[in-house]
Amino acid sequence: MHRRHVLAATAPALRGRSIAILVLALAAVALVVATSPAANTAGTPAGAAAAATPLRQSFDMQVPAPPTPVTVAGKPQLVYELHLTNFTSAPLVLQQVDVLDARDATVIAAVRDDALDRRLHRPHAPAGSGPRTIAPGMRGVLYFELAIDGDTLPRLLEHRIAFHDAGRPAQAPAIVRGGRVAVRTGAPVVLGPPLRDGPWAAVYDPSWERGHRRVVYAFEGRARIPDRFAIDWVKLDAGGRRAHGDEDAVGNWYGYGADVLAVADAVVVATRNDIPESATLSGRLQYRFEDGAGNHVVLDLGDDRYAFYKHLKPGSVRVAPGERVRRGQVIGAVGFSGHAGGPQLHFHVADADSPLGAAEGLPFALADFEVLGAYEDFDTLGRAPWTPLGDEMAARRTRELPAPITVVAFGTHGSQ
């Protein structure tokens, strides 16, 4: 039964005649195993494993958004989440999660202990539930950003989980495999810069507990992460400061009012231009959830990809829905409207034109940018200079997603 289930799950993802033949061969073997009493008692490793592992319920394992490889700091990365729902009546404690290349069960990543704690988010977990524990009926979300070494990207991922019942830590771990997902083969969309010049800090970090990447919205019947690859762009001076004089005054921020550029030839699908903003950070306005993006522009890039620009300056939006824009065209100005930490441009790409979260965030690459350095610690951004790039790193980057909290420069004309 188990073997048949695996084959059924695999078949739609396979391509090519030789693989089809392999599938037929495996199906024939499965049929023999299933129909021959001798095979079940022959003491094969498969038979022994089946005898040693009684059937038990555990997790439903799902990868809702298949990963698309995107290059970050010279290496391809797979960014995605594994959702685990506990369908048993007991709290289950995760011991280790392995990411496997499903073709040959090679371990691509093994996560346990503190690393597992950092990667696991348990929405609304019951108070007092232990670390790595998923209560009955509850869900855990594991966040992966896998940097792939070497030239060969896995095409099909699978996950292996070792776990035990919360009340029986000495118990031998139970193992469950699942969460198969095909890696998307298409390259991420390559875009022009959303801003000119620099230095601009690419503010995001996948590990932030409440940052873009970890905010799941369950709208329109599905849990999604629209900001999976979102970046907040904040302009700095050479000393790493965000503002001249008093940082509380929005108008003192270096980025405030900077031109925002179309990243591609595209069609405008949505705009807002009338949401007010305060003149100071301390006087920050309260916004309804629906207005959290502030003034914004959404561009249809084609192929079910949409670019989102948020927190624009009131009255600065120069385009209207239905209008065609050219790459590099000025469409608005950096502002402080909506739920923003300061004057900044929020930019992301997603698979639907919903500014309210009913869309999955997609990776994107910037065609060309210069890396000036990076911050090791987000808390020093705005207070100290960034750490310059080491000599061994190439400053000029093409077709990459900027790495977390790097400081970059774009061309003067937005089309370097």
Interacting residues toward Zn ion by CB under 5 A = 232, 346
Return the number of the residue (84 or 340) whose C-beta is nearest Zn ion.
Answer: 340
User: What contacts 411, CB < 8 A, 6 or more positions away?
Assistant: 193, 196, 197, 368
Least Å distance, CB 112 to Zn ion, is: 31
Return the number of the residue (81 or 232) whose C-beta is nearest Zn ion.
Answer: 232
Using H for helix, E for strand and C for coil, what is the string for the chain? CHHHHHHHHHHHHCCCHHHHHHHHHHHHHHHHHHHCHHHHCCCCHHHHHHHHCCCCCCEEEECCCCCCCEEECCEEEEEEEEEEEECCCCCEEEEEEEEEECCCCEEEEEEEHHHHHHHEECCCCCCCCCCCEECCCCEEEEEEEEECCCCCCCCEEEEEEEEEECCCCCCCCEEEEEEEEECCCCCCEEECCCCCCCCEEEECCCCCCCCHHHCCEEECCEEECCCCCCEEEEECCCCCCCECCCCCEHHHECCCCCEEECCCCEEEEEEECCCCCCCECCCCCCCCHHHCCCEEEEEEEECCEEEEEEEECCCCCCCCCCCEECCCCEEEEEECCCCCCCCEEEEEEECCCCCCCCCCEECEEEEEEEEEEECCCHHHCCCCCCEECCCCCCCEEEEEECCCCEEEECCCCCCC
Least Å distance, CB 391 to Zn ion, is: 32
User: What contacts 26, CB < 8 A, 6 or more positions away?
Assistant: 7
Return the number of the residue (232 or 291) whose C-beta is nearest Zn ion.
Answer: 232
| CA-only gyration radius of the chain, Å | 24
Return the number of the residue (232 or 400) whose C-beta is nearest Zn ion.
Answer: 232
Bridge-based pairing state of the strands 364-374 and 406-409: antiparallel
Least Å distance, CB 231 to Zn ion, is: 8
Cβ atoms of residues 23 and 10 within 8 Å: yes
Least Å distance, CB 342 to Zn ion, is: 11
Return the number of the residue (231 or 409) whose C-beta is nearest Zn ion.
Answer: 231
Least Å distance, CB 212 to Zn ion, is: 6
Return the number of the residue (192 or 361) whose C-beta is nearest Zn ion.
Answer: 361
Least Å distance, CB 279 to Zn ion, is: 21
Return the number of the residue (210 or 396) whose C-beta is nearest Zn ion.
Answer: 210
Least Å distance, CB 250 to Zn ion, is: 16
Least Å distance, CB 381 to Zn ion, is: 14
Least Å distance, CB 345 to Zn ion, is: 9
Least Å distance, CB 143 to Zn ion, is: 17
Tokens, residue 84? 């685990």
Return the number of the residue (318 or 346) whose C-beta is nearest Zn ion.
Answer: 346
Return the number of the residue (69 or 335) whose C-beta is nearest Zn ion.
Answer: 335
Return the number of the residue (181 or 333) whose C-beta is nearest Zn ion.
Answer: 333
Residue nearest to Zn ion (CB): 346
Cα(160)–Cα(358) distance, rounded to whole angstroms?
30
